[in-house]
Amino acid sequence: MNLACVQSAVEGGAVSNNVDRAIDRVREAAANGADLVVLPELFDVGYFAFDAYDRAAEGLRGPRLERFADVAADAGVAVLAGTIVEDLAASAADGVDVPADEGLANTAVLFDAAGERRLVYRKHHLFGYGSEETDRMVPGERVPVVEVDGVRIGVTTCYDLRFPELYRGMVDDGVECVLVPSAWPYPRVEHWRTLGRARAIESLAYVATVNGSGRFGDDALCGRTSVYDPWGTTLASSGEEPTTVTADIDPARVTAVRTEFPALRDRR
């Protein structure tokens, strides 16, 4: 499976521009042979644009997510719509199972190449360090794993990288590749590099950490989108500017590494 990680430029609060830009990047990646395209955390509104969250929120059947379902089907490519601000009340009204009847969630949605919604992941660990996320968002409760092009895929979001137990549960569900849409800022660049690689090493799985690019007042995203293989080797990475990082994901490689070095078997 060819994985394309879109390190998109994100303008705070400029939802229409951000979405149009992301759609263009999905089409470009599909034209270049991608099987799965991943967008960053809150690529539509910008993580640090807290005051715009309410205005940007929509349910899982909202018009912006429908655009990504349509482009997935039209381009014949699976798409992880990074994360968006989900209006839980709107989703509930549409019959979607939600963790609360009202409020907002930081939600990733994966569409397959037919445009069907296959996975919904709501960020579990909300960031409170100089952030308003914990005040504005409802944490998720489920950690789904789904097969895409023969690869068992799981999703976590940004700050979740600091909580390895979340990944252990996905390993038990057979995950082979974890996608991590993020809005990771300076100055914690070494944490970003180390944690993604550590999750790959301990899970003996591929991990793709997909960051945005952009500045929001005093805050700036550090970019450096990376894909790590099951040994923790960096397959591809970027700097801080907008770009697309690509790598091939081979489930047979996961099986081979876990067979050669069966550390997961020795858990107690």
Helix/strand/coil (H/E/C) assignment for every residue in 138-149: CCCCCCCEEEEC
| pLDDT above 90 for 224 | yes
Q: Which of 58, 86, 123, 133 is catalytic?
A: 123
pLDDT at 268: 87
CA 95 vs CA 101, 162, 218: distances in Å: 11, 33, 40
Q: Which of 5, 86, 158, 177 is catalytic?
A: 158
Q: How far apart are CA 137 and CA 122, in angstroms?
A: 10
Q: Mean pLDDT throughout 123-143?
A: 94
b/e burial code for range 93-106 (CB count within 10 A of at least 16 → b): eeeeebeeeeebbb
The question of whether 176 is a catalytic residue gets the answer: no
Q: Which of 77, 71, 87 is nearest to 22 (CA)?
A: 71
The question of whether 5 is a catalytic residue gets the answer: no
- Band of the pLDDT at 197, cuts 50, 70, 90? very high
The question of whether 222 is a catalytic residue gets the answer: no
Mean of all residue pLDDT scores within the chain: 96
Q: Mean pLDDT throughout 233-256?
A: 98
53-86 pLDDT tens trace: 999 999 999 999 999 999 999 999 999 999 999 9
Preceding omega of 187 cis (within 30 degrees of 0): yes
Q: How far apart are CA 220 and CA 216, in angstroms?
A: 6
| pLDDT above 90 for 128 | no
| pLDDT above 90 for 195 | yes
Q: Domain of 168: which CATH number?
A: 3.60.110.10
**Strand residue runs (E) in 183-257:** 206-210, 215-216, 219-220, 226-228, 234-237, 243-248
Backbone CA torsion sign across 47, 53, 56, 60: positive
Q: Which of 34, 32, 33, 57 is nearest to 44 (CA)?
A: 57
Q: Which of 41, 58, 86, 176 is catalytic?
A: 41
In the chain, pLDDT over 70 holds for what percent of residues?
Answer: 100
Under 8 Å between Cβ of 230 and 251: no
42-62 pLDDT tens trace: 999 999 999 999 999 999 999
Burial of 220 (0-12, 13-18, 19+ CB in 10 A): middle
Q: How far apart are CA 12 and CA 210, in angstroms?
A: 18
The total number of structural domains that make up the chain: 1
| pLDDT above 90 for 129 | no
- ∠ Cα 107 161 224 (to 5°): 90
- Band of the pLDDT at 218, cuts 50, 70, 90? confident
Q: Mean pLDDT throughout 239-243?
A: 96
User: Residue 150 is encoded by which pair of tokens?
Assistant: 């023969």
Give the structural domain span for 200.
Answer: 2-266
What's the pTM value of the predicted model, to 2 decimals? 0.97
pLDDT at 192: 97
